[in-house]
């Protein structure tokens, strides 16, 4: 998925490709990357100004009706399919919103990140505030959100903790592909159920999360599917497992 400069809520380039992915049985991992100098430059502020000036802006309703958020990614919280962000350049505003909803983040050494909404009189309202608070903690999240300053990839990894790996620019996409390959070596049922458990842990208290996860359709598919038998048999027979695509729920 390519996106050198996102539109106001950055849906158009992604709706054509991402929404089919969560239910696709052959695509097990989604990689989000950019093209050109920027991973995602965020919202189109000039278009936003035009809407404000013409009286057609309706931000609160836009946020409420945007079920999956910025680029149909930032508030997507029901898909159990892993998402990897391959950040090959700068990420501002909505770009950071997307990144914070990915499961793993690979960034180039020259990548920079910012939530500059406060400098423009707008708001980062598509899911990044609660996620950044959980990942970085209140004080560091406040630093990004209330100052609106730019941080480096190293800072995003070591201080704010939402980047997994920092690599050379030419290695960003190959590294993301290698991680996807490693994920694909594992049982797709187990991978997706593990991600569901993480999602539920953000919604519920400990015991409720464990109970809800154990009774979910994704867990049922795992325990009653072919891959659990294949994985145990492969271990017993000392061979590599031959995974099948998970059944569609």
Rounded Cα–Cα distance for residues 227 and 241 (Å): 9
Q: Give the closest residue to 63 by CA, choosing from 126, 15, 12.
A: 126
User: Tens-digit pLDDT profile for the chain (249 aa)?
Assistant: 334 344 433 443 344 344 444 445 557 899 999 887 788 866 555 665 656 666 665 555 554 555 544 444 544 566 889 999 999 999 999 899 989 999 999 999 999 999 999 998 988 888 899 999 999 999 999 999 999 999 999 999 999 999 999 999 999 999 999 999 999 999 999 999 999 999 999 889 999 999 999 999 999 999 999 999 999 999 999 999 999 998 776
Write down all domains in the chain, each with its CATH number in brackets. Answer: 12-183 (3.90.226.10), 186-237 (no CATH)
Q: Which residues are catalytic?
A: 97, 117
Q: At a CB cut-off of 8 Å and minimum separation 6, what does 70 contact?
A: 6, 9, 10, 94, 97, 98, 126, 127
- The tokens for 83 are 């998402």
Rounded Cα–Cα distance for residues 192 and 28 (Å): 9
């Amino acid at each position: 998925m390519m996106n050198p400069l996102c539109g106001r809520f950055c849906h158009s380039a992604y709706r054509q490709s991402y929404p089919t992915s969560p239910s696709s049985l052959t695509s097990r991992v989604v990689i989000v990357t950019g093209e050109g100098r920027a991973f995602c430059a965020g919202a189109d502020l000039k278009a936003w100004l035009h809407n404000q000036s013409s009286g057609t802006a309706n931000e609160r309703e836009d946020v409420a009706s945007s079920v999956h958020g910025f680029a149909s990614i930032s508030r997507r919280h029901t898909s159990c399919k892993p998402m990897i962000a391959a950040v090959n350049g700068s990420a501002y505003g909505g770009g950071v919103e997307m990144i914070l909803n990915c499961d793993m983040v690979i960034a180039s050494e020259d990548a920079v990140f910012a939530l500059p909404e406060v400098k423009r009189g707008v708001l980062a309202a598509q899911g990044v505030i609660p996620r950044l608070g959980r990942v970085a903690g209140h004080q560091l999240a406040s630093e990004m959100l209330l100052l609106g300053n730019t941080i480096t990839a190293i800072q995003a990894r070591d201080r704010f903790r939402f980047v997994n790996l920092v690599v050379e620019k030419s290695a960003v996409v190959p590294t993301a592909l290698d991680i996807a390959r490693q994920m694909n070596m594992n049982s797709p049922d187990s991978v997706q159920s593990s991600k569901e458990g993480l999602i539920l842990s953000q919604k519920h208290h400990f015991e409720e999360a464990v109970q809800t996860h154990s009774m979910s359709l994704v867990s049922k598919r795992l325990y009653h599917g072919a891959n659990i038998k294949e994985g145990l048999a492969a271990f017993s027979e000392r061979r590599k497992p031959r995974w099948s695509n998970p059944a569609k729920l």
